[in-house]
Chain A
Amino acid sequence: MTVLLAAALTLVALAGTAVVATNLPERQAVSLSFLGLALTVLFVALQAPGVALSQLGVGTAIVPLMVMLAIRTINARHARQQAADQQDEQDGGPEDGQSGKSAGGAET
């Protein structure tokens, strides 16, 4: 077990723990990307270049992008729902382009 392998394994374990411990899904996309990078380094150290390339493309680029897009869609809908509820409470105020909508979206 070389030092490089031990370090790579420890980094992967820490990155995995960080992803699970992050509560906000917006931030999880970034730490998931970091886990993908750590896994890529580990796979190269384990003499698996094809697997490392695949993990880099999928786990570092595509899956975090999909997670971010899903979270933005969900948060945007929640913000619209909240705004609609607030408007219903306010006895039909005049509707303009930006009627006090809260920016509940992607806070990073």
Chain B
Amino acid sequence: MSRGVRLLVFLVGGGCVAAMFAVAFFRMPAFGGTAHLYRDLAVRATLAHKTANAVGSVNFDQRGIDTLGEETILLASVIGAAVLLRPSEEEAELRPRRPGRVMPSTKLLGYALLPVTLLVGLDVVLHGQVTPGGGFQGGVVIATGLHLLYVAGSYPALDRMRPLEAFDIGEVAGATAFGGVGLAGIVAAGSFLANVIGRGTFGQLVSAGTVPVLNGAVGLEVGCGMVVLLAHFLQQDIIIAAKTEAAASGGTAGERSGSDDEPAERDEES
């Protein structure tokens, strides 16, 4: 199918989809209306389980089985990316180059914000049942915060702080803990992922039963999983090269063909 034909097919199909959208949108309840049946039911169940964060309650308590599926998808995709990005037979690993010049202000901000970010991430994970946030958000903040070490320092520094085997084990431990809590629900109350721990006091740290435990498990899994995922992409970019290339540069931290800008000076949002 040539590009022109493909565009034509898309325009026809896209036009029909747009028309169907228009018809549907004018028949939907108005934006910002007051009739939300699921909201009434979910909020009633949230308050009955003494959880302050209704979204966390829906995610981990009322629809915990869907979150189990979502975490399994995350685990499977990290494994898939790790398998796809491993060095093949005709590739070897170079020693990474000397890091480029990092501006002193970047270094200061990076090193100063690293413990702050890790603490904030841990706080978001632990308070998932009382404030907006939870396991997934906190895990992502922790994973991104760890890479401040790469922005402010160098790739070898990040490599030392980040033993990949430990993070692999951490990710699987988080996923297994989620399933374990579910099985404990079967043992204690007869149904998978039942909320079996005591409900605690509304709005306090110890509340909402199994929600904080599941938040911790998901935080561990997501944090470790994202670090492993980024590690494989970073390795592909920085370390792995074709064997001929490695031989040409003598296997030392020599120049690499392609881009000349150093990874340490790359702008990153974190």
Contact = CB atoms under 8 A, between A and B. Distances in A.
Interface of A: 1, 33, 48-51, 53-54, 57-58, 60-62, 64-66, 68-70, 72-73, 75-77, 79-80, 83-84, 95, 97-98, 101, 103-106
7 contacts: A53-B132, A60-B269, A62-B140, A66-B233, A68-B266, A69-B236, A79-B257
A66 B233 CA distance: 7
A70 B143 contact: no
Interface string B231-259: 00110110000101100110000111111
B88 to A, nearest CB: 12
Contacts of A97: 249, 254-255
Contacts of B258: 72, 75-77, 79-80, 101, 103-105
Contacts of A64: 269
B141 A57 contact: yes
Contacts, number: 95
Given A66-B230, A76-B237, A54 B268 contact: no
Nearest to B268: A65
A73 B84 CA distance: 14
Interface of B: 31-32, 53, 55-56, 124, 132-134, 136-137, 140-141, 143-144, 147, 226, 229-230, 233-234, 236-237, 242, 244-245, 248-249, 254-261, 266, 268-270
Given A1-B32, A62-B230, A97-B249, A53 B259 contact: no
Contacts of A54: 136-137, 140
B108 to A, nearest CB: 20
B237 A73 contact: yes
A45 to B, nearest CB: 12
Nearest to B258: A76
Contacts of B140: 54, 57-58, 61-62
B261 A105 contact: yes
A105 B259 contact: yes
B31 A1 contact: yes
Contacts of B266: 68
Given A1-B32, A53-B124, A62-B226, A80 B257 contact: yes
